[in-house]
Amino acid sequence: MQESIVAALAGNPILTLFVVIGLGYLVGEVGLFGLKFGVAGVLFVGLAVGALSPAIALPELVAALGQVFFVYAIGIQSGPAFFAAFRRQGYRDSLLALGVIAFGAVLTVGFAWLLAIPAPRAAGLFCGALTNTPALAAARDRAQSDEPVVAYSIAYPIGVIGVLICFQVFRRIWRTDERAGEETAPEILVRDFRVTNPGVIGRSVGDVLRLHKDLGFVIGRIRHAGEIDLAKSGTTLAAGDVVAVVGEELALERAQQIFGELSPTRIVEDRSKLDYRRVFVSSKEVVGRRLCDLDLQNTLGATVTRLRRGDEDMVPAPETRLESGDRVRVLTRRENFSNVARFFGDSIRGTAEADFGSVGIGMVLGALVGMFPIPLPDGSVMRLGLAGGPLVVALILGKLEHSGRVTWAIPVSANLTLRQVGLLLFLAGVGTKAGYSFAATLRTSGIQMLAAGAVITFAVTLATLIVGYRVLRIPYDSLMGLMSGVQTQTACLAHASNLSKTEAPNVAYAGVYPVAMIAKILLAQLLIR
């Protein structure tokens, strides 16, 4: 019976792929002591299926392609937030990552001495416990043997599973899910202000707004000379005018200081002449352009007062660039609704379509960067590989968003789809490939090494989580991403992203990933010595 199953799976890689994905999803939904592993169940089923025979392992291309899809989609989405976050706490996160990785290397040296593990195997143990294949490749080249691979295959699965268990356990111990539920994005409000500030009376709306930077609010309506109309840049403010301002609480406080006092009159409720229409951005003539360049007030007789991108609502600034799939709230005359819809496109297909020409170019650039040799002080070289290269390139392109007419940004829903497909391919590929060697080595002489690898993994994970959460006060969502970056482990990041409702894990992962990658490559080679 087993022989026929093995033969069927080995002879049909597509069948094997979907068996692993389908069963993996079912396993991920099974509760174990109140814990669910979600999409990581695909990895566990892959290990179990791969343990049946080495012939079942999916082609290397499956995992490589999935890895590129996943990290590229993460980089594009996280690019802007990554660069903003790095300016705030990037050095702190990088130092924490370097500290715990060095701690893992010290533990490895201790176990090598205690258990008389040869240096090449110790290096493989370190790479497996911290799940870094590029570091393993560097150690293998340095040792000129396959000894590091043996230890790596034993420690690697626990290096993934151990982190996932810690994520779930500490999430419950610290009740971070309840805390996260209390944190909500600032509410966008609308308030009316009466113009009483002598400093703005007699000035145009455009002149007043240009005097201040980062206002954080948009003026929709204005009641001027008894008439309610759009607040255009050329409208001159007069004493007693009432302006309807859209923004968050702090921005509205700033608006009150600029214009004067709160108005008892609610012109925002008067929809007899002006009204709102929500439309999707899908027109190629609009995507990638800044709101200030569109000059909507003069060309369309409209003002964009809010923008929804993914699950996030925001008040757009004049410099905000529209992306395919954005949903904008437009204030205009009712008879102008059809023109507004036609101008922006208003096609829901835009939320799920991506410009795969730019995606392909970005992935090519990422693959080339990953292949580029980086010289090390000892004369050897390292490479970022298919995990690091596409991630670095995607972060930069995500920050740029556009290069001329080329749009690098991917609509949120299309990004999530690409990310999920890539993740499934990656987990199924690495699981089936590592399963047989893991089971075979464990049956022979791997118990001590398995225990040592588990201790290293749990010690590094616990140190990161406890120091990060209790000492540095890093939010748990970000801390899971940081720990996933310390492991340079896509599966851990996927699990963190599933547990979190924000992009925080992805941003933190991208922030420490390059530092962690380089540190582990260097330390793995030092362990050989």
Question: pLDDT for 473-491, tens place per residue?
Answer: 999 998 999 999 899 887 7
Model confidence at 180, pLDDT cuts 50, 70, 90, reads very low
What is the reported pLDDT for 60?
Answer: 84
The ranges assigned to domains in the chain are 189-351
Q: What is the sign of the dihedral through the CA atoms of 213, 214, 220 and 225?
A: negative
Q: Return the bridge partners of 281, or none.
A: 345
More confident position, 412 or 69: 69
pLDDT digits (tens, 9 = 90+) for 288-343: 788 988 989 888 999 999 998 876 788 998 888 888 788 999 999 989 999 999 99
Q: pLDDT-derived band of residue 179, with 50, 70 and 90 as boundaries? A: very low
CATH architecture of 189-351: 2-Layer Sandwich (3.30)
| CA–CA gap between residue 378 and residue 523 (Å, rounded) | 13
Range among 3-7, 113-117, 146-150, 323-327 with highest mean pLDDT value? 113-117
- Region 410-434: mean pLDDT is 83
Average pLDDT estimate for 356-378 = 85
- What are 131-144's pLDDT values in tens digits? 876 677 667 767 77
pLDDT at 441 (0 to 100):
66
The confidence score (pLDDT) of residue 504 equals 82
**Per-residue tokens: 38:** 């979600």
Q: Which two tokens stand for residue 315?
A: 């008040």
Distances (CA, A) of 356 to 255, 359, 363, 372, 411: 42, 5, 10, 24, 11
State pTM to two decimals: 0.68
| Contact by Cβ (8 Å): 49, 56 | yes
Query: Which residues have CB under 8 Å from 507's CB, separation 6+?
Result: 78, 81, 82, 85, 478, 481
Determine contact, residues 62/21, Cβ cutoff 8 Å.
Answer: no
Query: Mind listing the pLDDT tens digit for each residue in 27-48?
Result: 877 766 555 666 767 877 888 8
- In this predicted model, what pLDDT tens digit does every residue of 437-463 receive, in sequence order? 767 766 766 788 889 999 999 999 999
Q: How close are the terminal C-alpha atoms of the chain, in Å?
A: 48
| Cα-trace Rg, the chain | 27
Quote the pLDDT of residue 113.
92
**Coil, helix or strand at residue 214:** coil
What pLDDT is stored for residue 378 in this prediction? 66
pLDDT at 183: 46
Q: Could you give the count of Cα atoms lying within 13 Å of 177 in the half-sphere of its Cβ?
A: 11
187-201 pLDDT tens trace:
899 999 999 999 899
Q: What is the pLDDT of residues 237-283, one digit of tens each?
A: 999 999 999 999 999 999 999 999 998 888 888 888 899 999 998 88
Residue 238 CA to residue 489 CA, distance in Å, equals 60
Task: Quick: pLDDT tens for 66-86.
Answer: 878 987 887 887 777 667 666
Q: What is the pLDDT of residue 374?
A: 77
